[in-house]
Structure 1
Amino acid sequence: MTATHTEYGDRDIAMDGEILRTVVGSGVHGIAIPGTDDHDEMGVYIEPPERVIGMHGPADHFVYRTQPEGARSGHGDTDLVMYSLRKYLRLATKGNPTALLPLFSPAVSVITETALGTELREMKQLFLSQHAVHRFRGYLESQRDRLLRLKPGHIPNRPELVERYGYDVKYASHALRLAYQGLEIARDGRLTLPMPDAEREHVLRVKRGEVAERDEVVADIDRIAKDIDTLLAEGRTPLPVHADTAAISVWSVDAHRRHWGWTA
């Protein structure tokens, strides 16, 4: 029988232990284009004790997609990824750009939030660091390389966009968004969601194919990336070098104990 969707991981553990879920796709950035974008969500859950300190092994992620494995998501599709709290904290403290989004999502983009989820979101500043900025830089370079097809095997994922606009405007918009957000984190020590109006409109213009020349977009990306590098090199950033993993770890241990009812 042909699969109608994609699902792997332990659904029951993820749903029973869920403490936080938010929108993480284009909608949370404010750059969704009606009729074109899919719907992305990220959730966080606490595993039962036998999966953390017992012999059963971790249950550290759950994935559900409305499209079958290998099929590209499109308008009307939902992609959900959920991580155990332990795995999520590892991703977020390392500055993974997508993993940081649930911490900074506006209330309208929050789908599920328990008391522990609220506590997690209130610690968001502990996760921002110079290391996170470097991760944003790395991700934007990856998107930029794919846009320019600089490496063997970089075949356009969206040939229809290349045919229509002359370049993959989605890769371009992703790289530009990451550049703006990396700059905001490095300069101001915060991540604004949705994106500030001027930056958001620039990204939308690229995504809608309203910037005719690919090289113009690349020049903007490179200019912003250089600004990021200058801030970090000159120490003109309010950020610590690394996330406050000590404080986050203390909270994580306490959160697991409280979720399991081990409060004595």
Structure 2
Amino acid sequence: MLKDIISKADYSFLRTDEKLGKNVILLGLCGSYSYGTNNENSDIDIRGCALNSKREILLGRDFEQITDISTDTVIFSFKKLVQLLTSCNPNVIELLGLKKEHYFEVTDIGRELLDNKELFLSQRAVKSFMGYAEQQFHKLKNACADEKLSMAEAESHIEAHRQKLSKLEMNFVRVYYMGFDLLEKGVVKTFRDEEHDLLMGLRNGKFLTAENKPAPEFFGLAEDLHNRFQYAAANTSLPHEPDIKRIEDFIISVNSRVVSSTEA
């Protein structure tokens, strides 16, 4: 089972690193598995949050994040995570909308964070989600521009190039649908069950031509998604800005508990 993965030796740093261990309040499965778009080649992506230590809080310091490249794991500090959530960062806010079974660990403070996710939802999502979509589109264009180099390589390299293009198309579309849930419904939903067939079709190359170019159908879909996003942005009921005072009150509550604890 996926939840058994973190008990393996490769993930021992989660338990032994002095900044992690008992300080971890939230740990979840992200990436393709959390979207429901995984295949046999998908990596395990783990994201989480660890409280800042009493010393860091009192001295105004921050470790920001700990990254383990070999396991594709990123654990954000509480301070850094809140900053990213407040800006509605698409790659981070998805941690608040995982399926229940995709959380490896949720402490009491981690549950408070999940229960207060609405604090971080605002129209800042318009800029951040649109920016992410545009980033994926530019990566797609750049990858297509490099196709001549790829075609001169071995067949396996060509297939890898095609898989890269199809994944970029899929993530371009996926982030729009997550943005729709935020702007139209005010919810964070990471697992894309309703769009599963569409997203897997994209990932399997159904929206690429034989020459490894985005098919006309992809550009039509992209235009439809962009238009819907623009309409959703103009008509969303999300507040223009997050409630910074409530966010600060939450930070104070959490950090006060850390500082008042008997541990260093």
Q: TM-score, normalised by structure 1?
A: 0.81
**For residues 120 and 137 of structure 1, what CA distance do their matches in structure 2 show?**
25
Q: Aligned Cα RMSD in Å?
A: 2.9
- Contact 1:24–1:98 at 8 Å: present in 2 too? no
Aligned counterpart in structure 2 of residue 45 of structure 1, from 32, 36, 50 = 50
- Contact 2:64–2:76 at 8 Å: present in 1 too? yes
**For residues 42 and 159 of structure 1, what CA distance do their matches in structure 2 show?**
30
Partner residue of 1:75? Answer: none
- Contact 2:143–2:165 at 8 Å: present in 1 too? no
- Contact 1:144–1:175 at 8 Å: present in 2 too? yes
Paired AA for residue 189 in structure 1: G
Partner residue of 1:191? Answer: 188
Paired AA for residue 62 in structure 2: P
Unaligned 5+ runs, structure 2? 1-9, 151-155
Number of aligned residue pairs: 239
Cα distance per residue 1:90-137 (max 9 Å; x no partner): 001101011111211111010111000000000112211111132111
Unaligned 5+ runs, structure 1? 67-77
What is the percentage of aligned positions where both structures have the same residue?
22
- Contact 2:57–2:255 at 8 Å: present in 1 too? no
Q: How far has the Cα of 1:180 moved from its partner?
A: 1.4
Q: How far has the Cα of 1:159 moved from its partner?
A: 5.5
Paired AA for residue 95 in structure 2: P
Cα distance per residue 1:3-47 (max 9 Å; x no partner): x99x9xx931122311111111111111111x2110111111111
- Contact 2:93–2:188 at 8 Å: present in 1 too? no
**For residues 254 and 110 of structure 1, what CA distance do their matches in structure 2 show?**
23
**For residues 121 and 210 of structure 1, what CA distance do their matches in structure 2 show?**
36
Cα distance per residue 1:181-226 (max 9 Å; x no partner): 11221112112231132x1221111001123441322321221111
Partner residue of 1:30? Answer: 36
Higher helix content, 1 or 2: 2
Aligned counterpart in structure 1 of residue 27 of structure 2, from 21, 30, 40 = 21
**For residues 151 and 178 of structure 1, what CA distance do their matches in structure 2 show?**
21
Aligned counterpart in structure 1 of residue 141 of structure 2, from 125, 148, 153 = 148
- Contact 1:133–1:185 at 8 Å: present in 2 too? no
Partner residue of 2:218? Answer: 217
Describe the shift of the 1:64–1:143 C-alpha distance in structure 2 as closer, same or farther (beyond 3 A).
same
Q: TM-score, normalised by structure 2?
A: 0.81
Partner residue of 1:93? Answer: 86
- Contact 1:128–1:243 at 8 Å: present in 2 too? yes
- Contact 1:145–1:151 at 8 Å: present in 2 too? no
- Contact 1:143–1:174 at 8 Å: present in 2 too? yes
Describe the shift of the 1:162–1:48 C-alpha distance in structure 2 as closer, same or farther (beyond 3 A).
closer
Aligned counterpart in structure 1 of residue 114 of structure 2, from 121, 126, 129 = 121
